[in-house]
């Protein structure tokens, strides 16, 4: 066993790219070194480096290859490809039974030789979201200029160069030299192994592991806050970003001028976060504390007083800008801003934001009537909810759209429910965000998301693969969460149709609109799978009907899942699948075998018994489903199991008499139809 250590040292790597790059390096190196059995990977990332330590075997043992290749008369390209794959020559081949057969012995290869062989190509193919070239005409790219490559195997340098036959403009070679902190400890040092590298870096003011750096930042910030009897406002995204900006974290605490303490908390927090990467703090009662925290990348003199005062001065300027927008925006009521939305494009094919708002008003009023909410106030909230897009504050900080509208509506004297609905109508923004719970907020949030989905599906802008530029998956999940967490009874399919009627005539009947219920169902499947619930049952109960009522669908799913957990349910599932399998096989021969069986052709009691039981079950299942009495419906299906079992025991389906056979297959089709009233049991996993 040997330790392979690789460090790629460059100019500063953007914070958002570091962790992903370290993971990519780990993934690609493990794949490339499979023949050396790589294990126990340790990835590292700092603003100026990504690195990886691995345990590998010391060599690839000798092997004997005996493999049949292409036919003797195959095209030459096929033969050359086979030889290239095995790094063989034609002299290694013999002809056997019309095929070329490779018989080749490969000597052992040392790990160092193998690494030196594969490493240049691996680094040349390494991908970054954005990269650049430098040097004299070289085509080699990296996220920022790459200065050093440390590559050691058990402390010995594995020599290789980035120069290639086709491109010798980049002569960077591997070595055992690295660097510490740019300012606190400039210059190089020798690397012997991963442990010594980490230890030396720490002495040179660099914490190599991103997790350790983040922990140090978090603990330092909490300690500072505790001394001031306040607490940190949680912000994992900012914490992740700062971790990628700092090599030697030194947390510091500054004061906020009392002149700005009446600004909305969200304005202060976003201004600090976006402009300066400062952390917000709060008092024990949840109010904004007159402090901010930040992390320096140097060890300042005099406990950082000069650094703190400098950052306080910068923050005063930032807050002065926010104060200007706050005061200016409030001079124009939201209602007067609505007309300005005519000058704000929503989408080239969907018109401007004013036209969007008119559709929201119509949809919000309809949803309010369904949920017994105040229709006039709902329409008022919809009218004003996008008006803050014309304000200076939202222009400066787009993250505050909706939130600022709520504050400005409150200042204008709008009803509290309207102000709150405007503030909440984008919720939930992500999986950790709360959903609206007040009636008007629910109505406005649903209207906004339903209109968004209908609008973009109508113009064919559906999510594809990982691409979702208009956040339609998030909108769908938001609709699902709002409905589930507020236990709402709504027909989404009908709502989509109603919303589509508000679009321009040429878009109202777009084909892609028909896919919206299935799109919602797919998001619901994903959510249930993440929760560990029976998403296969959800698929089964929704297969025969595009459900618009999510709560009905979930109730039905829960009832079927509960039934299937019982021994009776498990046995019924096996019985129904048996009937479906027989029917599927026979349908391929001369089917389909559909329709009602003819009682006049029954010559066995088991046929008659099954026929009567199916009629009785259907007469019970249909009204039970209409009343959402899923337990009764499941019990009606359960009564079929022993009768179907007796039918299979006593009745020969494929009788020599063709008429009897067809009639019995129709009985099986009636079993399938009766159970499908509840669920497609064939989609349910055992």
Secondary structure (DSSP) of 420-463: HHHHHTT---STTSPPP-SHHHHHHHHHHHHHHHHHHHHTT---
Residue 467 gets which letter from DSSP? Answer: B
The set of residues, in sequence order, having a beta carbon less than 8 Å from that of 639 and lying 6+ positions away, is 613, 616, 617
Buried b (16+ CB within 10 A) or exposed e, 270-293: bbbbbbeebbbbbeeeeebbbbbb
Residue 319's Cβ-count burial label (10 Å; 0-12, 13-18, 19+) is buried
CB of 527 within 8 A of CB of 477?
yes
- CB 141, CB 127: distance < 8 Å: no
Q: pLDDT band for position 169 (50/70/90)?
A: low
Distance CA 627, CA 623 (A): 6
Contact between 490 and 483 under an 8 Å Cβ cutoff? The reply is yes
Place 173 in a pLDDT band, splitting at 50, 70 and 90: very high
Contact 422, 444 (CB under 8 A): yes
pLDDT tens figures, 64-98: 778 888 888 888 888 888 888 777 888 888 888 88
Tell me the pLDDT tens digit for each residue of 20-41: 999 999 999 999 999 999 999 9
65-79, 509-523, 669-683: which is most confident: 509-523
| DSSP string computed for 284-309 | TTSSEEEEEEEEESS--SGGGHHHHH
Task: Write the pLDDT tens digit of every residue in 277-298.
Answer: 999 999 999 999 999 999 999 9
Res 426: pLDDT: 97
Nearest CA to 153 among 369, 1, 370?
1
Torsion on CA atoms 49, 54, 58, 61, rounded to nearest 10: -110
Which residues are 253's β-sheet partners? Answer: 293
pLDDT score of 544: 56
pTM of the model: 0.81
Helices 535-542 and 550-564: crossing angle, nearest 10°? 120
Measured distance CA(311)–CA(293) in Å, rounded: 10
Distances (CA, A) of 660 to 597, 654, 670: 10, 8, 15
pLDDT at 546: 57
Mean pLDDT, the chain, whole residue set: 92
Cis amide leading into 428 (omega within 30) = yes
Q: Are the C-beta atoms of residues 222 and 277 closer than 8 Å to each other?
A: no
Residues counted in the chain: 686
| The pLDDT of residue 160 is above 90 | yes
Q: What is the mean pLDDT of residues 412-439?
A: 96
User: 4 - beta bridge partners?
Assistant: 54, 153
Q: Which residues pair with residue 279 across a beta bridge?
A: 293
Q: How many percent of the chain have pLDDT more than 90?
A: 69
Q: How many CB atoms lie within 10 A of CB 257?
A: 13
CB 580 within 8 A of CB 540: no
Cβ atoms of residues 560 and 634 within 8 Å: yes
Mean pLDDT, residues 352-357: 97
Residue 97 has a pLDDT of: 87
Mean of pLDDT values over 328-346: 97
Residue 455, CA atoms < 13 Å, CB-side half-sphere: 25
| Residues 6+ positions from 211 with CB-CB distance below 8 Å | none
- For 375-395, write each residue's pLDDT tens digit: 999 999 999 999 999 999 999
Q: Are 117 and 161 in contact (CB under 8 A)?
A: no
For residue 10, report the phi and psi dihedrals to the nearest 5 degrees. -140, -175
Q: What is the pLDDT of residue 558?
A: 87
């Amino acid at each position: 066993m040997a330790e392979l250590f690789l460090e790629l040292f460059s100019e500063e790597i953007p914070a958002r790219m570091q962790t992903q790059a370290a993971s990519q390096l780990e993934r690609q190196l493990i794949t490339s070194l499979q023949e050396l059995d790589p294990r126990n990977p340790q990835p590292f990332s700092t603003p100026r480096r990504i690195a990886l330590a691995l345990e590998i075997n010391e060599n690839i043992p000798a092997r004997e290859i005996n493999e049949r290749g292409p036919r003797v008369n195959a095209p030459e390209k096929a033969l050359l490809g086979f030889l290239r794959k095995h790094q063989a020559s034609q002299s290694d081949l013999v002809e056997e039974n019309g095929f070329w057969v490779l018989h080749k012995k490969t000597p052992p290869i040392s790990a160092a030789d193998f690494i030196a062989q594969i490493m240049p190509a691996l680094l040349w193919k390494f991908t970054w979201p954005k990269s650049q070239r430098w040097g004299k005409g070289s085509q080699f790219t990296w996220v920022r200029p790459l200065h050093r490559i440390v590559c050691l195997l058990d402390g010995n340098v594995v020599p290789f160069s980035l120069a290639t036959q086709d491109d010798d403009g980049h002569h960077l070679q591997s070595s055992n030299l690295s660097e510490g902190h740019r300012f606190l400890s400039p210059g190089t040092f020798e690397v012997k192994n991963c442990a010594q590298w980490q230890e030396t870096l720490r002495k040179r003011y660099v914490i190599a592991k991103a997790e350790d750096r983040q922990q140090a930042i978090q603990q330092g910030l909490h300690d500072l806050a505790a001394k001031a009897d306040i607490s940190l406002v949680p912000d994992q995204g900012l914490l992740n970003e700062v971790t990628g900006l700092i090599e030697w974290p030194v947390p510091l605490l500054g004061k906020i001028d009392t002149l700005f303490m009446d600004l909305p908390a969200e304005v202060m927090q976003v201004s600090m976060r976006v402009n300066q990467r400062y952390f917000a703090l709060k008092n024990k009662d949840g109010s904004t504390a007159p402090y901010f925290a930040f992390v320096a990348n140097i060890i300042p003199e005099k406990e950082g007083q000069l650094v703190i005062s400098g950052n306080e001065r910068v923050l005063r300027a930032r807050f002065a800008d926010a104060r200007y927008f706050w005061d200016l925006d409030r001079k124009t009521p939201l209602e007067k801003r609505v007309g300005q939305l005519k000058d704000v494009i929503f989408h080239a094919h969907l018109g401007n934001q004013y036209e969007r708002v008119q559709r929201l008003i119509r949809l919000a009023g309809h949803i309010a009537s369904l949920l017994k909410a105040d229709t006039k106030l709902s329409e008022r909230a919809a009218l004003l909810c996008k008006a803050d897009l014309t304000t200076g504050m939202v222009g400066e900080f787009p993250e505050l759209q909706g939130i600022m509208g709520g504050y400005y509506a409150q200042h204008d004297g709008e009803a509290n429910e309207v102000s709150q609905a405007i503030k909440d109508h984008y919720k939930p923004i992500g999986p950790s965000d709360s959903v609206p719970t007040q009636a008007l907020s629910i109505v406005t949030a649903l209207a906004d998301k339903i209109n968004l989905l209908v609008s973009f599906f109508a113009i064919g802008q559906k999510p594809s693969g990982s691409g979702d530029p208009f956040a339609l998956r998030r909108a769908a999940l938001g609709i699902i969460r709002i409905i589930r967490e507020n236990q709402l009874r709504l027909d989404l399919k009908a709502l989509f149709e109603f919303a589509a009627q508000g679009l321009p005539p040429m878009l109202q009947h777009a084909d892609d609109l028909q896919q919206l219920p299935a799109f919602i169902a797919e998001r619901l499947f994903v959510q249930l799978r993440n929760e560990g619930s029976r998403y296969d049952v959800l698929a089964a109960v929704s297969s025969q009907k595009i459900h618009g009522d999510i709560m009905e669908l979930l109730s039905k799913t829960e009832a079927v899942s509960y039934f299937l957990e019982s021994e009776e349910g498990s046995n019924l599932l096996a019985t129904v699948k048996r009937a479906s399998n027989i029917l599927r096989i026979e349908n391929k021969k001369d089917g389909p075998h559909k329709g009602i069986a003819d009682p006049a052709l029954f010559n066995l009691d088991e046929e008659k018994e099954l026929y009567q039981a199916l009629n009785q079950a259907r007469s019970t299942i249909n009204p039970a489903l209409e009343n959402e009495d899923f337990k009764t419906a499941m019990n009606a299906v359960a009564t079929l199991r022993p009768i179907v079992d007796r039918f299979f025991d006593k009745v020969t389906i494929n009788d020599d008499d063709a008429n009897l056979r067809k009639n019995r297959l129709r009985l099986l089709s009636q079993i399938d139809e009766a159970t499908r009233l509840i669920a497609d049991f064939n989609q349910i996993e055992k």
